[in-house]
Structures are given as structure tokens and as C-alpha cells.
Amino acid sequence: MSLSIHTAEVAEAARILAARRSSGSTGPLLPPHLRPEDFDSGFAIQQAVADIYAREHSDAIAGWKCLLPSTDDAMQVKTVVAPIYAGTCHSGESCPLWPSPEGLARVEPELAFILGHELPPRPEPYTEAEIDAAIAETRLALELIQSRYQNPAQAGFFDALADGLVNQGLWLGPRLNDAAGLILGRFELTVACVDAAEGGAAGIRTQAARHPNGDPRAGLYWLVNFLSARGIGLQAGQRVITGSYAGVLTLPLDTRLQLSYGELGSFELSFTARTR
């Protein structure tokens, strides 16, 4: 591993980003001497943030977000990988999150793969069949989105990588409809505000939703072996999300919402603002 910044600078950058993550606050880009200029430096800061956050909150990594590596227009490889913390994973009818500056929830519709047994690091790569066998269940999910930078548009990819790639948590919904022959790569996404008084729905939004990699398991297959090569295993019970089907959705707080993932299933929830 080759770092563009020194170990002491990794630790200093991590302290800044971990403090923002803990408080739900944002701030400017890291000082120039602390900004990562390559994947190894960004990933090192990210993992140092994880160590600080886990220690200060008695928390642990409960999952990962990932996507197959891609190349942008400037031919820069983007390796999407970031941890998700147990204390920021939620389920049930109410989901707390840090709202956007506009007072809204920012989320991404995804599927979450829940592991039924450990996949420890090992010299030889895991096969797709071995990884499939480790999946205990698949759930409808929402990734909870927040950048710790005041102006995320100014952040480069490695800045975002250091900060955990805008992840602030995960909401786990119901198990995937297990009917045979379901297509997992695409569905019709419907979002509606539920009128509890009338038992109806209003403000319906429908759009075509497609997984960026086609097969939502593709990123999982990549992640297992990427982490294994770095001496990191996955544990039973950990969740893995592999990319948004519809970018970022901006949704109201304190409003009963119904989301349908077509034939894959549906759920209702409301978002509330975190205070700590």
C-alpha cells in the first residue's frame, strides 16, 4: 500500500471526519495536506474513522456498501467501498437520520444481502457459488445519505471515500418476495405519501429503477474478495448493499410514506430527524 499522506496525517484527517459523523455536522474540505490523493490514502482514512467511531460509540461495523469498480471520463478508477455501523442500522416503521440542510431525508433504494455465516479472509478467491451459499436472506433496503462536507460537489472521489461515501446508515425493510423467476436488476419504483385518516395515498411518484451493475449480487461477489485480499473478513449477520436503483431520493420527514419495489415487495415508514 502506498499512501500519498503520512500516517500521522491519516489519523488527523480521521479525527476530523469521525467528529463530524458523531455529531451529524458538516464542514469544509479537509486541509490540503490532509486530503487523500489516491485510493490507499482515502481508504486508510476511512478505516481510521471506523476505528475511532467504533471505539467512541462502542459500535461495530455491521455491513458494507459497495459497487463494481468503474472508470470515469478522466480514466480514474472509482473503487466504491465503505463500512456501515451497527448503531446506524434501523428497521421498523420509523427511521431516524440526519436531515439535509433543507430538512429532508436523502435515501437510496437498494437491496441488502444478509450473511448467514462468516466469510473469513483466505488466500484463494471465493467463488460466486460460495458467496451465494453464505446469503441467508435478501431484504428491501434504503441507504441513508449524508456527506460530512458542507459542499459535497467540491469533494473529489477520494475525499468522499475517506468520509464513507456519503453513507450515514441503513434502513432494513421486509424480506424480498421469494417468488421464483423474479428479475432483481430492475423494477418499477413507486413512492407515495400515505393519508392515515383516509387510508389512501397522495403525491404518487413512479419511475423505472435499474441497478447500475445489472445484477445486484455482482458488487457483493467483488467486495468479498476485495476485502479478503486485505485481510478483512465478513461476519455472519453483516449486511451488504451494492448500489442504488434510482439515485438519491429526497423525501419529507414526519410523513408516512409507502415505497413499492414492483414485484420485489413494498413497505411503509416515516423518517424522523436525529438529535444526537
Any domain includes 40:
yes
Query: 114 lies in a domain?
Result: yes
- The Cα diameter of the chain in Å comes to 60
For 67: left if phi > 0, alpha if psi spans -120 to 50, otherwise beta; the answer is: beta
2 in a domain, yes or no? Answer: no
C-alpha cell at 163: 468520509
pLDDT score for 198: 54
CATH of the domain at 228: 3.90.850.10
Is residue 75 included in any domain, yes or no? yes
The whole-number average pLDDT for the span 197-223 is 87
Q: What are phi and psi of 145, to 5 degrees?
A: -110, 130
Least confident of 190-199, 228-237, 257-266: 190-199
How many other C-beta atoms lie within 10 A of the C-beta of residue 46?
24
**Which pLDDT belongs to residue 199?**
53
pLDDT at 202 over 90: no
Kindly report, residue by residue over 247-264, the tens digit of the pLDDT.
999 999 999 999 999 999
* pLDDT of amino acid 3: 60
The reply to whether 1 falls in a domain is no
| DSSP letters for 97-115 | EPPPTTS-EEEEEEEEEEE
Distance CA 53, CA 55 (A): 5
- What's residue 10's pLDDT? 96
In a domain, 206, yes or no: yes
∠ Cα 231 142 21 (to 5°)? 60
Please tell me what DSSP assigns to residue 176: P
- Split into its structural domains, the chain has a count of 1
Q: What is the mean pLDDT of residues 146-157?
A: 96
Confidence (pLDDT) at 76: 83
Supply the pLDDT for residue 260.
97
pLDDT grade, residue 4 (50/70/90)?
low
Residue 201 has pLDDT above 70, yes or no: no
CB 218 within 8 A of CB 68: yes
Domain residues for 111?
7-273
**pLDDT average, residue stretch 28-56:** 96
Q: Name the band, by pLDDT with cuts 50, 70 and 90, for residue 196.
A: low
Q: Are 160 and 152 in contact (CB under 8 A)?
A: yes
Among 13-22, 169-178, 196-205, name the one with the lowest average pLDDT: 196-205
Q: Which of the pair, 240 or 178, is modelled with greater confidence?
A: 240
Residue 125 lies in a domain: yes
Share of the chain above pLDDT 90, in %: 88
The per-residue pLDDT of the chain, averaged, comes to 94
pTM value is 0.94
Side-chain-side CA neighbours of residue 81 (13 Å): 22
43 within a domain of the structure (yes/no): yes
Contacts of range 208-213, beta carbons closer than 8 Å, 24 or more positions apart: 209/109, 209/245, 209/246, 209/261, 209/262, 210/185, 210/186, 210/245, 211/184, 211/185, 211/186, 211/242, 211/243, 211/245, 212/67, 212/243, 212/244, 213/67, 213/68, 213/242, 213/243
135: left (phi over 0), alpha (psi -120 to 50) or beta: beta
Question: Rounded to an integer, what distance in angstroms lies between the CA atom of residue 50 and that of residue 63?
Answer: 12
pLDDT in tens, 53-89: 999 999 999 999 999 999 887 778 899 999 999 999 9
**C-alpha distance across the termini of the chain, in Å:** 36
For 63-89, give one letter per residue: b (16+ CB within 10 A) or e. bbbbbbeeeeeeeeebbbbbbbbbebb
Residues 176-193: what's their mean pLDDT? 90
Residue 25 banded pLDDT, cuts 50, 70, 90: very high
DSSP for 193-230, please give it: EEETTTTEEEEEEEEEEE-TTSSTTHHHHHHHHHHHHT
Q: Say what the pLDDT of residue 82 is.
A: 99
Handedness of CA 209, 265, 100, 9 (dihedral sign): negative
- Asked if 271 and 105 count as a contact pair (C-beta separation under 8 A), the reply is yes
